[in-house]
């Protein structure tokens, strides 16, 4: 079926290192992709988004890359901090639909 998924369920990095979280999607009709951060006991928090007509978008310490050829999405976090520890979800949205389709999530643990 069509889905948004993640390559790695867990990721452990050292504080100060860069983190890369990956995501694969299967539907080429998706035109919008979002990364959410979810801390324990909280709802998903928007991090950064990218439209399908872009390859790269940068925010503060975060960069999202979109490779439409292989249907791959990644989130790069520079100088990872303990406060970045959370579960990260990628989600896709299709223009004709109102809902977001989420993957299972990657848990990021930052070691001090």
Partner 1 sequence: DAGVTQSPTHLIKTRGQQVTLRCSPKSGHDTVSWYQQALGQGPQFIFQYYEEEERQRGNFPDRFSGHQFPNYSSELNVNALLLGDSALYLCASSFGQGSYEQYFGPGTRLTVT
Which spans of this chain sit near partner 1 (rule: CB under 8 A)?
Answer: 4, 32, 34, 36, 41-46, 49, 89, 91, 93, 95, 97-105
Nearer to partner 1, 78 or 101 (CB): 101
Q: Provide, for the chain, the percentages of residues in helix, strand and coil under a 3-state DSSP scheme, each rounded to the nearest 5.
A: 5, 55, 40
Nearer to partner 1, 49 or 72 (CB): 49
Q: What's the closest the beta carbon of residue 78 comes to partner 1, in angstroms? A: 24
Q: Is 16 exposed, middle or buried (0-12, 13-18, 19+ CB in 10 A)?
A: exposed
């Amino acid at each position: 079926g069509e889905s948004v998924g993640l390559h790695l369920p867990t990721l452990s990095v050292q504080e100060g290192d860069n983190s890369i979280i990956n995501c694969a999607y299967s539907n080429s009709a998706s035109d919008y992709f979002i990364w959410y951060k979810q801390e324990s006991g909280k709802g998903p928090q928007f991090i950064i988004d990218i439209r399908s007509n872009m390859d790269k978008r940068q925010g503060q310490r975060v960069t999202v890359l979109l490779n439409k050829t292989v249907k791959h999405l990644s989130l790069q976090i520079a100088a990872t901090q303990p406060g970045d520890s959370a579960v990260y979800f990628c989600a896709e949205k299709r223009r004709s639909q109102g809902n977001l389709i989420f993957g299972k999530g990657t848990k990021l643990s930052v070691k001090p």
